[in-house]
Amino acid sequence: MSLKSQISPLNPKRLPQRLMQMRPKRYCMKDPAAAVTDEIIRREIIPGSRVIDLGCGDGRLLQLLRDEMNCVVQGVELDEEGFLESMRREIPVIKGDLDDGLQYLPDNSFDFAVLSQTLQQLRYPVELLEQILRVANRVLVVVPNFAYWKIRLQVLVFGRAPVTEELPYEWHNTPNLHLMSMQDFRELEKEREFRIVKELPIIGEKSVPRAMWANVRARTVLYILEKKDSQKSSS
């Protein structure tokens, strides 16, 4: 008997009930952890700072920073619905496509830039990061972790493109173009002119600095970046 004939593919019907409960729901949904992520970002921003949110969505984070932390805020948003909602909140917002670059923004015009759940959707993510570091002293980047254990399990057991709360789209309608793990982002730091000041894996509903097995346990990650030649001290 050949080896091939002895190997049978995984049959989902024979999987333990607990594994079957992990089968992803195949539909799109808004990020349910958005409020948690906003709070983690807020804790990393100094009151009174100049903050730009690139891909600001409905402007809820900028409204929080303006009203509760006295920050001077600016948003950039391409989606019409998000743009109008930001305007309704009286957030100064530019309707623009981040893939077109940030040439219209002066050097060092912000203390912090926020790029939350947006980097992976850009055509040229690394180039935009370098442009952001021209206009802001520090960048707070939130990205999904493609090495999260549920993603690994879905691919291994079900053989499907993964669908999670952080990646809630089907393969054919997803806006996410560039997916990465925590280890991928650390390798990128070695190749480019920025350094990771702080890495905060988001596990459950809180950030867990220096978590064990973070690349497996974290659904999303917050990175705080600055230029390698910056003289700012690490927080």
Q: Is the pTM of this model over 0.75?
A: yes
Which pLDDT score is estimated for 151? 75
| C-alpha dist (Å) from residue 132 to 2, 28, 99, 198, 216 | 57, 29, 12, 17, 29
Which pLDDT score is estimated for 26? 35
Q: Which residues of the chain have pLDDT under 70?
A: 1-33, 161-162, 164-171, 173-178, 230-235
Which pLDDT score is estimated for 142? 92
- Which of 1.10.490.10, 3.40.50.970, 3.40.50.150, 3.30.450.40 is the CATH number of 24-227? 3.40.50.150
Q: Return the closest-CA partner of residue 73 out of 20, 111, 106.
A: 111
| Residue ranges of domains in the chain | 24-227
Contact 86, 75 (CB under 8 A): yes
Q: What is the pLDDT of residues 178-211, one digit of tens each?
A: 677 888 888 888 888 889 999 999 888 888 788 8
Q: How many helices (H) and strands (E) does the chain have?
A: 9, 8
Contact 121, 147 (CB under 8 A): no
Which pLDDT score is estimated for 19? 46
Contact 190, 114 (CB under 8 A): no
